[in-house]
Amino acid sequence: MSNIDNQFQNLDDIPALKELSDETAAACSGGVTLVAFNKRGFEGFKKQFIQNGNKLDIGFVGGSINNKISSFRVSGGNSSLYKVTLFDGRNFQGQRESFYVRRGKAKRFVGDFINDRTSSIRVRPV
Ligand SMILES: [Ca+2]
């Protein structure tokens, strides 16, 4: 998948998703929100993804944080528990790892397997 990633590294986010710099704005919208960080422990560069309802489909995380995600936080929506799947490839392809995260909680480190590989993300209510 690394060849594909490199080929499209300059493409921007898919238009259906909004990237907001202000987390408060996301919380007010009510939709499920995932904030991804490029270092473990919620440090470093961060990028926020938000979608209405309880589902989040990020076909490509965007060139700035592609293959760099190490920790994330989930908030918003109506479900108390979410399944977050991180995919190595774009459009939910390739190797993956899933995490069960309660709303408002976070994954301090995604683990060595998927660390610095994530190119797409899917969030589902449980
Ligand atoms: Ca990747």
The rounded Å distance from CA 119 to ligand 1 centre is 4
Query: What's the token pair of residue 2?
Result: 């690394």
Report the pLDDT value the prediction gives residue 125, as an integer from 0 to 100. 96
pTM of the predicted model, to two decimals?
0.78
Q: Is the pLDDT of residue 114 over 90?
A: yes
Q: What is the pLDDT of residues 60-104, one digit of tens each?
A: 999 999 999 999 999 999 999 999 999 999 999 999 999 999 999
Q: What is the pLDDT of residues 29-54, one digit of tens each?
A: 679 999 999 999 999 999 999 999 99
The rounded Å distance from CA 68 to ligand 1 centre is 9
Order the strands of the 56-58 sheet from edge to edge: 56-58, 120-125, 81-87, 96-102
Task: Report all structural domains of the chain as residue ranges with CATH numbers, in order of start.
Answer: 2-125 (2.60.20.10)
The rounded Å distance from CA 124 to ligand 1 centre is 20
